[in-house]
Amino acid sequence: MTTLVDPSAPTAAPRDNIGVVEWLRTRLFSSPGNTILTLATLVLLWFVLPPMANWFVLDAVWWAAPPEVCRAAEGACWAMIHEKHRLIIFGRYPYAEHWRPFVAMLVLIGLIGGSTNRRFWRRELAVAWAAGMVVMGVLMWGGVFGLTFVETALWGGLPLTLILTTVGIVVAFPLGIILALGRQSQMPIIRTLSVVYIELIRGVPLVSLLFMASFMFPLFMPSGVQISSLLRAQVAIILFAGAYLAEVVRGGLQAVPRGQVEAARSLGLGYWPTMWKIVLPQAIRMVIPGIVNSFISTFKDTSLVAIVSLTDLMLAARQAVGDPAWRAYGLEGYVFIGLIYLIFCYLMSRYSQRLEVQLYTGRQRL
Amino acid sequence: MTTFEDPAVPSEPPRVAPWNNPSVRAWVYQVVVMGLVLALAVYLINNTLTNLSERSIRTGFGFLDREAGFRMGESIIPIEPSNSYGRAILAGFLNTLKVAILGIILCTVVGVVIGIARLSRNWLVQKLATVYVETLRNIPILLQLFFWYAIITGTFPNSQEAWKPLPGVFISKSGILHAVPVADPAHLWIGIALLVGIIATVFYGRWVRRQQQETGRRPPLLGPALGLIVGLPFLVFLGFGAPLAWDLPVMGRFRFTGGQEITPEFLALWIGLGLYTAAFVAEVVRGGILAVDWGQTEAAGALGLRRGLVLRLVVLPQALRVIIPPTTNQYLNLTKNSSLAVAVGYPELTSVTDTTLNQTGQAVECIAIMMAIYLAISLSISGGMNLYNRAVQIPDRR
């Protein structure tokens, strides 16, 4: 008689659940080479981590304290952040009115957060954004409803960074779509103009565009017309982001099968209805992760407006550590705003990765 | 009998009014767009000329010959404040090239190591590589430059108490000082010997490949190659009687004299750009390796190739095809990001042009020069990479 495997008999647990020892063995010490690698890494960490922990945590001055206390301590001087955090986050915005940029920032973050939820991807979202922009404008500028007027030269810190990014991407998006369509167009002049624009902008650094904005835009205007430095930098960011978004959208346009265009044309749709109703909805859906990545890049790139003296998060931090009493603690300031940038960008990039997986489901590569 | 239309006889094209004819419309649109663009350009140029004459700013590139009058922290070519703006901008351009080339080398080396580490089966190594990538690419490069600059100028010792990791090397707040060999006529010949060695190695390598294809046996490559590239220059060096005098940095009363200096500005920029871009290169490398089907590795193993050969002959050539285009983009980004040197005070193209702009007030010309040079660098890097890309592309997949 043959013996069959008894299905009710317990089988060995999957490897992952075997225990600490097995976990260590498979992941860290599976071969001699691997063991050496692990040990070398541990030695490296032993030299790097304790000094870092000392500086960051153990020897640091954590709470409000005068600079003298920091000078006596060995580690980081977080008291500097405690003293200067309002300046770093809100820049030179009038101190008593800080609640206004704070609320504006919350509105913006709420809108961005809401837009990440795919259930809200409807027409109402655009209305919400428009309303949110109006509310933010009223809060930031003031001058109505008893709010004192605050000129854009005083805007600063994190709200400025967020506004530059969001307005930049929102306005650059239509520009990017038009350029991408232009680049795919059959008309030689329009195609050439689009290609020249896109390659020109992508070939030069953003800093040079910002210099152009701050030195040449005033010359472009008819005499007597002044434009604020905020608007100039914003225009430079829009022109820059537009060229990059155009390439993202082009990727989507190229991924839409030709048959879609042909089918639309044979139904008698003209160019714009074909693009607007058939091609773009599919193309943009495919490149949403790319658009989110552009948003992240733009968010990081806005830090360059510090070079043309706009008090964004970066320059606000530089000004905070420029205070003679706290000058020695620049590193702490950079770590602080570094964490802010890191948290925003990391969350956005995780979202973009998740979206990529979600949107990819069920679609085959053609 | 009814007559049918003969489908073979070409019917006249349908009569269409000109305003409904697609090709006529296309031209009308294009002429209108072109007209709008030209009108905008004329308007802007006109405004600019009016503004320039109102502010009595000179135009033209004559300023390039005038004396610059500012001092540059460092330069590859000798430069004095009495030199012209043109020469200052040239020195800035060379500084840009220097930091870009060295940065590209650093980001490639670190990026490849981190990218492979991201795929390591070692949990610790893999997690550390992930932390590296996620941290560095999610913090603006400008902030990282400030950070490195603050680390160097804030936590390194004074020149009096400089670290001496190697004889003749001093690391301090004011950068790295290292000894350089004193110039000697023998150096030229050593350089020539090195060049000869490299060329000979290339030819020898081709011969090795032909031998392998004809006879199936592979002559040794590594030994002779080392002999040619390292041994030949060394023999020349000995033949000249080993002339090696070092120009050592010596601590004077207040500062060092002698030796070669690496400034903290350059160091911050180089490390910052290199490590930041390495995070992106690492992701590209990881993606490229993952893109090669696992079946390729298995098939190569089944043919009896060793692990090293599988990687070198099967996986890497295929991965490189995926890796090269996005890596080119990263090199371009690094070069463009070197313009942020203006923030840490390294005198490269942007920073020199900015100084020139502020001194002469000729914004249009300065920005045009700056953009033209960056554009030229971008186009030549992407052009060169396109050529290389065509060379490694699978021939029959076009």
**What are the pLDDT digits (tens) for B208-236?**
888 888 888 877 888 888 888 888 888 88
Q: What integer pLDDT is reported at residue B394 of this predicted model? A: 63
Given a cut of 90, whether residue A107 has pLDDT beyond it is no
Contact A338 B367 (CB under 8 A): no
CA dist., res. A272 & res. A323, Å (int): 57
Q: Mutate which of A207, A301, A332 to test chain B, going by most B C-beta atoms within 10 A? A: A207
Contact B51 A28 (CB under 8 A): no
What is the tens place of the pLDDT at every residue in B146-155? Answer: 999 888 887 7
Together in a domain, B274 and B371:
yes
- Taking residues B350-371, report their average pLDDT: 87
Q: Is residue B111 part of a domain?
A: yes
For residue A340, which amino acid is it? Answer: I
Q: What is the ipTM of this complex?
A: 0.84
Together in a domain, B113 and B198:
no
Residue that the structure tokens 């080479």 belong to: A33
What is the tens place of the pLDDT at every residue in B299-349? Answer: 998 998 887 788 888 888 888 888 888 888 889 889 999 998 888 888 888
- Taking residues B373-381, report their average pLDDT: 88
- Taking residues A32-55, report their average pLDDT: 84
Supply the range of the domain harboring residue B199: 183-244
Nearest CA in chain B to A200: B375
Together in a domain, B116 and B198:
no
What is the tens place of the pLDDT at every residue in B37-51? Answer: 999 999 888 888 888
User: Are residues B93 and B372 in contact, defined by beta-carbon separation less than 8 angstroms?
Assistant: no
For residue B25, which amino acid is it? Answer: R
**Burial of A300: CB neighbours in 10 Å, binned 0-12, 13-18, 19+:** buried
Q: Is residue B224 part of a domain?
A: yes
Together in a domain, B240 and B117:
no
- Residue A365 pLDDT class (50, 70, 90 cuts): very low
Contact A346 B143 (CB under 8 A): no
Which of the listed residues B197, B214, B244 is the one where a domain comes to its end?
B244
Q: Is residue B16 part of a domain?
A: no
Together in a domain, B277 and B336:
yes
Q: What integer pLDDT is reported at residue A3 of this predicted model? A: 62
Q: What integer pLDDT is reported at residue B101 of this predicted model? A: 92
Residue B132 contacts A, CB cutoff 8 Å: no
Chain A residues with CB-CB distance to B124 below 8 A: 27-28, 38, 41-42
Nearest CA in chain B to A75: B155
Q: Is residue B276 part of a domain?
A: yes
Together in a domain, B187 and B89:
no
Together in a domain, B358 and B275:
yes
> If you average pLDDT over every residue of chain B, what do you get?
83
CATH code, domain carrying B363? 1.10.3720.10
In chain B, what percentage of residues exceed pLDDT 90? Answer: 17
Q: What integer pLDDT is reported at residue B140 of this predicted model? A: 92
Q: Is residue B198 part of a domain?
A: yes
CA distances from A6 to A3, A14, A117 (A): 9, 18, 49
Closest-CA distance of chain B to residue A318, Å: 9
Contact A34 B354 (CB under 8 A): no
Nearest neighbour of A342 by CB, restricted to B123, B135, B142: B135
Given a cut of 90, whether residue B165 has pLDDT beyond it is no
For residue B304, which amino acid is it? Answer: G
Contact B143 A337 (CB under 8 A): yes
Q: Among A5-19, A95-109, B188-202, which is the least confidently predicted range? A: A5-19
- List the structure tokens of B255: 């500062």
Nearest CA in chain A to B140: A300
Q: Which residues contact B110 (CB under 8 A, 6 or more apart)?
A: B274, B275, B278, B281, B282
Instruction: Check residue B15 and report its DSSP letter.
Output: P
CA distances from B274 to B188, B239, B338 (A): 31, 39, 10
Q: What integer pLDDT is reported at residue B188 of this predicted model? A: 82
Contact A334 B140 (CB under 8 A): no
- List the structure tokens of B250: 């010596």
Q: What integer pLDDT is reported at residue A364 of this predicted model? A: 43
Nearest CA in chain B to A207: B339
Contact B340 A186 (CB under 8 A): no
Size of interface A-B (CB pairs under 8 A): 152
Closest-CA distance of chain B to residue A252, Å: 18
Q: Is residue B48 part of a domain?
A: no
Together in a domain, B124 and B270:
yes
Together in a domain, B112 and B234:
no
Given a cut of 50, whether residue A221 has pLDDT beyond it is yes
Which residues on neighbouring strands pair with residue B262, listed in sequence order? B176
- Residue A366 pLDDT class (50, 70, 90 cuts): very low
CA dist., res. B147 & res. A334, Å (int): 6
- Residue B397 pLDDT class (50, 70, 90 cuts): very low
**Phi, psi at residue B178, to the nearest 5°?**
-140, 155
Residue B358 contacts A, CB cutoff 8 Å: no
Contact B51 A218 (CB under 8 A): yes
Residue that the structure tokens 């900015």 belong to: B354
Instruction: Check residue B306 and report its DSSP letter.
Output: -
Contact B140 A342 (CB under 8 A): no
Q: What integer pLDDT is reported at residue A18 of this predicted model? A: 64
Which residues on neighbouring strands pair with residue B180, listed in sequence order? B247
> If you average pLDDT over every residue of chain A, what do you get?
82
Residues 361-380 of B with CB under 8 A from A: 363-364, 367, 370-371, 374-375, 378-379
Q: How many domains does chain B have?
A: 2
- List the structure tokens of A128: 């919400």
Given a cut of 90, whether residue A240 has pLDDT beyond it is yes
Residue B388 contacts A, CB cutoff 8 Å: no
- Taking residues B371-395, report their average pLDDT: 81
Q: Which residues contact B278 (CB under 8 A, 6 or more apart)?
A: B106, B107, B108, B109, B110, B111, B114, B136
In chain A, what percentage of residues exceed pLDDT 90? Answer: 9
Q: Mutate which of A215, A308, A350 to test chain B, going by most B C-beta atoms within 10 A? A: A215
Q: Is residue B62 part of a domain?
A: no
Nearest neighbour of A200 by CB, restricted to B37, B122, B375: B375
CA dist., res. B275 & res. B261, Å (int): 22
Together in a domain, B219 and B141:
no
- Residue A314 pLDDT class (50, 70, 90 cuts): confident
- A326-329, long-range: CB within 8 Å, 24+ apart, which pairs? A326/A67, A326/A77, A326/A80, A326/A83, A326/A84, A328/A70, A328/A71, A328/A77, A328/B154, A329/A70, A329/A76, A329/A77, A329/A80
What is the tens place of the pLDDT at every residue in B103-121? Answer: 999 999 999 999 888 888 7
- Taking residues A314-336, report their average pLDDT: 82
Nearest neighbour of A28 by CB, restricted to B124, B140, B370: B124
Contact A334 B150 (CB under 8 A): yes
Nearest neighbour of B138 by CB, restricted to A205, A223, A345: A345
Please report the sign of the dihedral spanned by the C-alpha atoms of residue B293, residue B295, residue B299, residue B301.
positive
Q: What integer pLDDT is reported at residue B252 of this predicted model? A: 66
Together in a domain, B107 and B199:
no
Q: Mutate which of A164, A194, A219, A272 to test chain B, going by most B C-beta atoms within 10 A? A: A219
Nearest neighbour of B364 by CB, restricted to A28, A42, A216: A216
Q: Which residues contact B90 (CB under 8 A, 6 or more apart)?
A: B77
Together in a domain, B271 and B339:
yes
What is the tens place of the pLDDT at every residue in B118-131? Answer: 888 788 888 999 99
In chain A, what percentage of residues exceed pLDDT 70? Answer: 95
Nearest CA in chain B to A23: B123
- Taking residues A233-248, report their average pLDDT: 91
- Residue B388 pLDDT class (50, 70, 90 cuts): confident
Chain A residues with CB-CB distance to B30 below 8 A: 187-190
Q: Is residue B3 part of a domain?
A: no
Contact B135 A307 (CB under 8 A): no
Chain A residues with CB-CB distance to B44 below 8 A: 220
- Taking residues A38-44, report their average pLDDT: 87
Nearest CA in chain B to A327: B154
Residues 27-56 of B with CB under 8 A from A: 29-30, 33-34, 37, 44, 47-48, 50-52, 54
Contact A331 B336 (CB under 8 A): no
Given a cut of 90, whether residue A105 has pLDDT beyond it is no
Chain B residues with CB-CB distance to A205 below 8 A: 336-337, 339-340, 350, 374
